[in-house]
Amino acid sequence: MNAPNRQRPSGAMPELGTIETASRSLRDPAEGLGEKAFYLAALLIAIALIRRVPYRLFAKTTH
């Protein structure tokens, strides 16, 4: 018995190099955006846990 031909047809999928290049070019902006989103979420959690902040002020910051 012969092994089946497992070569992918040409043009079926883009090369890994193209996908890798695109994802690497987006890495720095994604890290920056993710870091800012984390700090914003931490700030909103801290505001929610501080009892001295009036609810109306907190509601305005989250909407």
CA torsion sign, 9 to 11 to 13 to 14? positive
pLDDT of residue 9: 61
Residue 48 belongs to some domain of the structure: yes
The parent domain of residue 59 ranges over 37-63
Q: How far apart are CA 23 and CA 17, in angstroms?
A: 10
pTM: 0.53
Structural domains of the chain, count: 1
Are residues 61 and 44 in contact, defined by beta-carbon separation less than 8 angstroms? yes
Query: 5-49 pLDDT, tens per residue?
Result: 776 666 565 566 888 888 888 889 999 999 999 999 998 888 778
